[in-house]
Amino acid sequence: MKLRTKILWISCIALLAASLLGDALILRITGKSLKSEAIIRAYQNFYEMTSELERGLIRNMDADTRSVYLEYYFKNLKDDYSICFLWVRNTEETNEIRQIYNHTALSAGELSQMDLRSYEDGDITCADYSRDNTDYVIFHMNIQEKIDVYRVVPMVDVQNNVRRLTGYILAITFGVTGITMLVLFAILRHILQPLQELNETTKRLAEGDYDQRVVVRRKDEIGQLEESFNKMAEAVETSTRSLEESERRKTLFMGNLTHELKTPMTAISGYAQTLLSTKISRENQEAALLYIYEECGRLERLSKKMMKLLELDQDESLVFADTPVSRLFEAAAKSCEVILKDKQMTLECIEHGEHFPMELDLMTDVLINLIDNGIKASDSGGKIILRAYDNCIEVQDFGQGIPAEEQEKIMEPFYMVDKSRSRKSGGAGLGLALTAMIAKRHNISIRIDSKEGEGTRMILQFV
């Protein structure tokens, strides 16, 4: 059962129960009031009738005369609910009851057995009586100790009024309840509509449609729930996209790594098999062993860079020290001295006493990788410039440059702009990926300013 239906039924049942309880109390109080009013009117009429009888009766009147007078009085009264009995002395010890007037089904014996009680502490007594689903009130008065006068007052009108009032009240109650159900249904539909939309959006989100959002139209608790859902959906989408991208990158990384390892391993295996199975000249043996040595060195460098990437990918914190740029430049220049000399290139360092917070060994690796890339992209006899200014360190070469469409991709592992040149020079496309990782751990942003045929400026900006 839907929440809206539950709320609707619970509310209507509670309203109906409260209304019926109130109706019962109202009908009970109203019924008592109507009955009390009817009894008061009947008492007044009975009192007037008995007073008139007392005035017309002479106390020393004999029994026959009383009987004639009473028969005449009640015959003219023409009241089917009045009863009169006359006590006539039969002997000195017994009395006989003579029925003067009685058009009811009640006998003198039934009337005498009723539990009569005094009404308002007077001579008139009364009793409640019920017959054939009709309530009665019976008044009684004894006149001159010889005449019993009764008045049977039916409560039919009171009962009918109470029944009509019950019908009206129940009709109003159920009518109001029905209208309330319709109004409540419309209100709940309006209020809970956002929850329905939220439920449908959640289902689509669970099915993998992570860009689903709900429209926030209100500022109450439901609106806050919608805002929280949107934030959660945004976090889920971001996390999922990140995981998907990470998985894609890992798959690409492993594919590229396999490819990079396959080439030197195939060459090493081939040359080794040749050395083991074929007799070749001393010169060719040395050439084969040199190639195996170089490829083993390449695999060693590749494995070291892989280990460095894995280490930097951990959440271990780095310890930064305020380090002079001159010290950083000196360490990088010393490490690149051999490769600069092999290509007959010069390294120019420009700094003005700048200091930056860094982990020296890692930042040295950054500059070595950037200088190495600059050397590979430049012709022999060229120049590399290391420059520090403001909050930046810049590595500039005057080589081939990087195409604009390639500049956003060169930081990815194993990505190489010129794959044939990079493999020929022993590169595997991990240097800039390692540089990007170290820069990220230092909160350093990397900007690339490059034009084909004019060279490249790699700008490291400290935050």
Report the alpha-carbon distance of residue 378 to residue 342 in Å, rounded.
13
User: What's the token pair of residue 455?
Assistant: 């060279």
| Range name among 33-42, 70-79, 177-186, 410-419 with the lowest pLDDT average | 410-419
Whether residue 239 sits in one domain with residue 226: yes
Total count of domains within the chain: 4
Tens of pLDDT, residue by residue over 420-432, are 444 444 444 566 7
Q: Are 169 and 22 in contact (CB under 8 A)?
A: no
The helix-helix angle for 431-441 and 282-312 (nearest 10°) equals: 20
Q: How far is CA 119 from the centre of its chain?
A: 68
pLDDT confidence of residue 431: 65
**Percent of the chain at pLDDT exceeding 90:** 22
Residue 359 tokens read as: 């982990």
Q: Which two tokens stand for residue 99?
A: 């029925």
Query: Are both 195 and 252 inside the same structural domain?
Result: no
Comparing 250 with 170, the larger pLDDT belongs to 170
Look at residues 283, 314, 345 and tell me which one is the last residue of a structural domain: 314
Same domain, 27 and 71: no
Do 107 and 135 fall into the same domain? yes
Within 8 A by CB and 6+ apart from 385, the residues are: 347, 348, 350, 394, 395, 396, 397
Residues 271 and 163 in one domain: no
- Residues 45, 90, single domain; the answer is no
In terms of residue numbers, what domain contains 294?
Answer: 210-314
Q: Is the pLDDT of residue 170 over 60?
A: yes
Q: How confident is the model over 29-47, as a mean pLDDT?
A: 91
Element (H, E) at 206: helix 156-206
Taking the alpha carbons at both ends of the chain, their separation in whole angstroms is: 58
For residue 324, the model assigns a pLDDT of 94
Residue partners of 264: CB distance under 8 A and separation at least 6: 295, 296, 298, 299
21 and 160 fall within a common domain: yes
pLDDT score for 91: 58
* pLDDT of the residue at 278: 81
Exposed / middle / buried, residue 415 (Cβ in 10 Å: 0-12, 13-18, 19+): middle
β-bridge mates for residue 81, sequence order: none
Distance CA 460, CA 436 (A): 10
Mean pLDDT of 147-161: 91
Which range scores top for mean pLDDT: 99-108, 235-244, 335-344? 99-108
Longest dimension (CA), the chain: 174
Of the candidates 136, 169, 203, which is a domain's last residue?
Answer: 203
334 and 423: one domain?
yes
**Given this model, what pLDDT does residue 212 score?**
75
44 and 186 in a common domain: yes
The whole-chain average pLDDT of the chain stands at 82
Q: What is the pLDDT of residue 388?
A: 94
pLDDT of 307 higher than 70: no
Within this chain, do residues 186 and 81 fall inside the same structural domain, yes or no?
no
Looking up residue 292, the CATH number of its domain turns out to be 1.10.287.130
- Check pLDDT > 80 for residue 148: yes
Residues 406 and 338 in one domain: yes
Confidence at residue 421, expressed as pLDDT on a 0 to 100 scale:
45
pLDDT for 319-367, tens place per residue? 789 999 999 999 888 878 878 888 899 999 999 999 999 988 788 888 9
pTM of the entire predicted model: 0.47
CA–CA distance, 223 with 284 (Å, rounded to integer): 79
What span, in angstroms and rounded, lies between the C-alpha atoms of 56 and 49?
A: 11
pLDDT in the model for residue 180: 87
Residue tagged 């022993």 (tokens): 426
Report d(CA 206, CA 199) in Å as an integer.
Answer: 10
Q: Are 300 and 352 members of one domain? A: no
DSSP state of 175: H
Can you tell me the distance from the alpha carbon of 336 to that of 367, in angstroms, rounded to the nearest whole number? 9
Lowest mean pLDDT among 113-117, 123-127, 222-226, 349-353: 222-226
Q: Is 328 exposed, middle or buried (0-12, 13-18, 19+ CB in 10 A)?
A: buried
